[in-house]
Structure 1
Amino acid sequence: MPFYFFYDPTMIFILIGLVISGIASTYVRSTYSKYADTRNNRGFTAWEVSRSILDNSGLRNVVLDRVPGNLTDHYDSQNNILRLSDATYNSTSVAAIGVAAHEAGHAIQDQENYFPLRLRSTLVPVANFGQGISFPLIIAGVIFGGNQSLINLGILFFSLTLVFQLVTLPVEFDASNRAIAILDQQQLLTPEELDQARHVLRAAALTYVAAAVASFLQVLRLVLLFGGGRRND
């Protein structure tokens, strides 16, 4: 197999993607840590805030559950379960409340049949399949005399990951916007605390932007390496 498949000048795209992702991850951790020690004045726990948001949105059927870990919070649309991590569940910090409200925002999206959320759910198995089959197809195309059809098909399947990342962006931004609006409307946080929660959610959103940029750079690298049919000689 040609050496360029493992290393070539376009590897810089992968390195750039890793650096961007690393910076975004570091930023969200530092921002979360900064406000993880800031207790909200009303003494609400993240669980109480989540329950209040869900109940006031007519989502009493959504179960609140606890899962191990830190920042493992997520909404399970298939089972109507909002899962809060150990670090979030009973925390009274502004950071934890922001995260919990964000996940409640996903539950509200689900209730309203928010199209980007539905589209993302549909794309999950498709993107996973595409990511799994893409490189075997590209490798097979290279091995079998530079079969451009197989190579292009592999690139196309890998591009589904980028599509998934792009669809994820409006889903996450919308959930954060809903969270901030509801926290304000229900007066669950003071104006100062609301601004702090907004900082946490904006930082978290950057990780999704970074993931989309990294996926784009990976697709670009594959196109530059294999998309032009240069390997037939």
Structure 2
Amino acid sequence: MLIWIILIIVPMLFGLYAQTRVRSAYNKNVRIASRGRITGREAAEAVMRSAGVQGVEIIKVPGELTDHYDPIRRRLALSEMNYHGTSLAALGVAAHEAGHAIQHKVGYSMMKVRQTLVPATQIASSISSYVIMAGILLLSFAGSAFGYNLLALGAWALGVIVVFQLVTLPVEFDASRRAKAQLVTLGIVEKDEMKGVHETLDAAALTYVAAFVAALGSLLHILLILAGGRSRD
């Protein structure tokens, strides 16, 4: 029971805390307009232009905090509030996504690794929960070798997800680092306004840490179940 709490419940609570913090930081700083009144779209354009990034389309997408950079389509997507908004939160998020575009241009190694892992991670994410659930049920009620094999397959799928989440951390941290530096260097945000940008991007970064911790906890939990089944055999 204690191990289950440490590996499953604690990461779950950490994830809820991270989501609450990013929502709180964003909602706070999206109401604080920057003095320069530059929109998120304009900020993303300026950051990419200063780094020599060309050919990246900036589009508006529905939803809140749905912002992302698509290296395949060379497309930077900003949610409506961040696309048109002039808030500190909007500028921070827009510059962060532009940071990913810069990573793509310079060939940032960890971004390349993450992109290579995307197909395998998509497959792993789609099957892991079903395979693990089926494996645990079969082991619990029948103790079958097939259930053990299903659980082992689920562990491999979780392993792929853990590696992807681990690689994602430096990619996201680096994009935020580039964003913060460019916002000040280009005069988009004044130094005394950076507190709001830091709050927004640091809170967002915490969600990626929480995702990694949750995936790792789940993997360790499954490995312990497998180890227990092997010892009984």
TM-score by length of 2: 0.89
Maintained 8 Å contact 2:29/2:87: yes
Higher share of residues assigned helix: 2
Maintained 8 Å contact 1:146/1:231: no
1:217 matches 2:217: yes
Provide the residue aligned with 1:3 in structure 2: none
Q: In 2, Cα distance between the equivalents of 1:137 and 1:23?
A: 28
Maintained 8 Å contact 1:130/1:160: yes
Q: In 1, Cα distance between the equivalents of 2:116 and 2:15?
A: 25
Unaligned runs of 5+ in 2: none
Provide the residue aligned with 1:26 in structure 2: 20
Q: CA RMSD in A?
A: 2.0
Q: SS where residue 145 of structure 2 aligns?
A: coil
**More deviation in 197-206 or 126-135?**
126-135
Q: In 2, Cα distance between the equivalents of 1:137 and 1:33?
A: 38
Q: In 2, Cα distance between the equivalents of 1:228 and 1:135?
A: 20
Maintained 8 Å contact 2:25/2:203: yes
Q: In 1, Cα distance between the equivalents of 2:195 and 2:89?
A: 11
Maintained 8 Å contact 2:158/2:215: no
TM-score by length of 1: 0.89
Q: In 2, Cα distance between the equivalents of 1:186 and 1:93?
A: 16
Q: SS where residue 76 of structure 2 aligns?
A: strand
Q: Letter of the aligned partner of 1:177 in structure 2?
A: R
1:202 matches 2:202: yes
Q: In 2, Cα distance between the equivalents of 1:127 and 1:207?
A: 18
Question: How far off is 1:137 after superposition?
Answer: 5.1
CA deviation digits over 1:134-185, x for unaligned, max 9? 4555545746723555543431222111111000000000000000111111
Match of residue 55, structure 2, among 36, 56, 61: 61
1:218–1:191 Cα change, 3 Å:
same
Provide the residue aligned with 1:4 in structure 2: none
Q: In 1, Cα distance between the equivalents of 2:150 and 2:166?
A: 25
Provide the residue aligned with 1:109 in structure 2: 103
Match of residue 15, structure 1, among 4, 9, 24: 9
Aligned length: 226
Provide the residue aligned with 2:37 in structure 1: 43
Question: How far off is 1:9 after superposition?
Answer: 6.1
Q: In 1, Cα distance between the equivalents of 2:12 and 2:130?
A: 23
Question: How far off is 1:10 after superposition?
Answer: 4.8
1:178–1:152 Cα change, 3 Å:
same
List aligned pairs for 1:61-210, cutoff 5 A: 61-134=55-128, 138=132, 139=134, 142=139, 145-146=144-145, 148=148, 151-210=151-210
Kindly report structure 1 stretches of 4+ aligned residues shifted beyond 6 Å. Answer: none
1:136–1:28 Cα change, 3 Å:
closer
Q: In 2, Cα distance between the equivalents of 1:192 and 1:15?
A: 39
Q: In 1, Cα distance between the equivalents of 2:230 and 2:103?
A: 46
CA deviation digits over 1:165-209, x for unaligned, max 9? 000000000000000111111111111112321121111100000
Q: Letter of the aligned partner of 2:145 in structure 1?
A: G
1:47–1:224 Cα change, 3 Å:
same
Maintained 8 Å contact 1:146/1:229: no
Question: How far off is 1:37 after superposition?
Answer: 0.9
Maintained 8 Å contact 2:68/2:97: yes
Unaligned runs of 5+ in 1: 1-7
Question: How far off is 1:11 after superposition?
Answer: 4.0
Maintained 8 Å contact 2:151/2:222: no
Q: SS where residue 229 of structure 1 aligns?
A: helix
